[in-house]
Structure formats: C-alpha cells, structure tokens
Structure 1
C-alpha cells in the first residue's frame, strides 16, 4: 500500500514538471508597466486604431513604442493610480506619440475622470494587459 502512494506521488510530480511553459503572450499579460497618465479628447476624429470614440468611452492611447503599429488595438488594460490604488479597465484605441516614456499612457477624458478631475492633469500609473 505504501509503494502505491509513492508511485501516485511520483506520477503527479512528473506531470507538473513536464507541463508546457507559458506562451510569450501569456507572459506579456503579467508585465506591469509604470509611467504617467494624461488625458486627451477625441474631437470626433478616429484614433490610430481607426475607430471614432466619444470622450466618455473608456479608451487608452499607448506610447508609440508600446503601440507597436497597432498590434494591441482592442486589447484591454487594467490601470492603477499608484498614489490612490484606484483601478479601472480601458481599451487600447489610439497611439500617443507625445507620451513621456515607456509605460506612460493617455486616457480618454471619461477614463481619466474615474481616477481624478482633469484639472489634476496627470497621475502616476501602473498598468498591465488583461487576458484575452
């Protein structure tokens, strides 16, 4: 009876050890980016992803390098104000060539106002891609 338990334990450990590693996309979702959040107005114009949104839509513009020619259009992000801990979800819909450094993002007016009044202008942010 004791050897049967050891064999079962060995088989369980072997199956865990031989599990396939996470895909690169899965690993990307775990990366937390940090920077500064600002806000922008759509002004009835399509964003870099090609769609027109209202200023009340919860959308995000990624810094040019992270925008990566639109590869993340339509992906959602969980955004955290690192000063207050408040979080919200936004959808990538635009590029932000004026964002100051990797990790900085531009939020629609409606999304920014979940965190702070627009008169504040900026706040420290962390964010990560959500699972698709």
Structure 2
C-alpha cells in the first residue's frame, strides 16, 4: 500500500503519543487531536518478465520439396528363342553364264570368179574419202566391204589393209552376169560379214534404187 506524506506524519505522531502514554493526557486535557486521514490508494505491484517476441515470419516463401518420382524400370524385350526344328535353307547362287564365244567369221576366199560364193545384202551410199585413203565419186565402180570382214585383216593403219584395192564380182537376180567393183572403203553399218555398200552407179546396174536394199552374191575376181 502507498500512503500520502501528511498521513504518514499524522500516523507517526499517534504512534509516538500511544507509546508515551499520552493518550490519558489527551483525555484529561479534553484535547482532541484530529488526524487528517487521506484515502489510501492500494497499488498492487506486479513483476514483469520480459519475454522476447517471436521472430517475424519470413517473407521469402520456403519452397516445398519436390516429390521424388521413381524412374520407370525398363521392360526387357522378350527374347524369341530360335526354333530348333528350323533348318536354314542355303541360298544357291547360280554361276553367271560365261559369254559364248562369237562364231568365227570365215573370211571369203577367192574362188577364181563367177561362182557366187558369198551371199549378203547390198545398199548404196555417197562416195568420198574412204578408209583405204582414196577419194572417189558416186560414178566410180567401187564398194565398201562389211566392217566384220575388213577387221579380219585390219592393222594399225587402215590404208594398208590388204583388202584395199581387191576386185570382186557382184551379181543379183536382175543381173546374173554381175559387175566388177573395187573395195576401197569400210561399211560400218553393214552387220553381215558379206554385206556390201555400193556407189549409186553400181547399184543401178544390180537393182532398183527405190528398193534401197537388195540381195546379192559376190566372189573375188
């Protein structure tokens, strides 16, 4: 409790009088002592314990831990066992056929005239510089022999081919007697070994130029 300053003084005086026996004196003297009393204020004292406040919540959000997803276990591929009863079939590769040799071309031989030993086709062409190195015109009695036959005696220099300058007699159905011509050239378009390419002057004596191709027989002279 807490007392005022004046109340404490009055209280102290009363205590002093009581202790000294002055109470009787006060009564005998008919003296009255007034004690000014003041309202006493009761104050309850409390003890305060300082408690540190909790720390403020952090403004930075704490990330939640990511859930751990287990890795999928790879499914092993099924192993297909080989059928023991299956027998591998060997693959037989047929051998490549060997190229058949070209049939030998028989070189025409001179029969001494007139026999018609060789049969082939005859065409005509515009004459000029031939493979034998000579230049001729369409009015000359010459011919070009098939490249198949000319190649049999060909050398590095076609001008020196032994066939160059050889004379032959050419006959047809319309002219059985035939005409004599000289080989001065090679016919690259003649596929048969006995085919001939004639000048227009020679072809006119053996067949019709409108036909283009005629059948002939010939022999060396």
Q: TM-score, normalised by structure 2?
A: 0.43
Q: Over aligned residues, Cα RMSD in angstroms? A: 1.7
Whether the aligned pair in 2 keeps the contact of 1:36 and 1:100 (CA below 8 Å) is no
Whether the aligned pair in 1 keeps the contact of 2:166 and 2:183 (CA below 8 Å) is yes
Q: Which has the larger radius of gyration?
A: 2
SS at 2:139 equivalent? coil
Please give the alpha-carbon distance, in whole angstroms, between the structure 1 residues aligned to 2:110 and 2:192. 20
Whether the aligned pair in 1 keeps the contact of 2:148 and 2:191 (CA below 8 Å) is no
- Where does structure 1 lack aligned partners over 5 or more consecutive residues? 1-26
SS at 2:109 equivalent? helix
> More helix per residue: 1 or 2?
1
Deviation per CA, 1:76-122: give whole Å up to 9, x if none: 000111x2324111000100010131111100111111112322211
Of 38, 60, 63, 2:143 maps to 60
Please give the alpha-carbon distance, in whole angstroms, between the structure 2 residues aligned to 1:67 and 1:35. 15
Deviation per CA, 1:9-65: give whole Å up to 9, x if none: xxxxxxxxxxxxxxxxxx9211811110100102xx310111110100011100012
Of 119, 124, 128, 2:215 maps to 124
Of 91, 98, 105, 2:189 maps to 98
Please give the alpha-carbon distance, in whole angstroms, between the structure 2 residues aligned to 1:60 and 1:112. 10
Higher RCO by CA contacts (8 Å cutoff, separation 6 or greater): 1
Q: TM-score, normalised by structure 1?
A: 0.70
SS at 2:130 equivalent? coil
> More strand per residue: 1 or 2?
1
* 1:1-132 correspondence to structure 2 within 5 Å: 28-30=109-111, 32-42=117-127, 45-68=128-151, 69=154, 70-81=161-172, 83-84=173-174, 85-130=176-221
Task: Give aligned pairs, total.
Answer: 101
- Where does structure 2 lack aligned partners over 5 or more consecutive residues? 1-107, 155-160
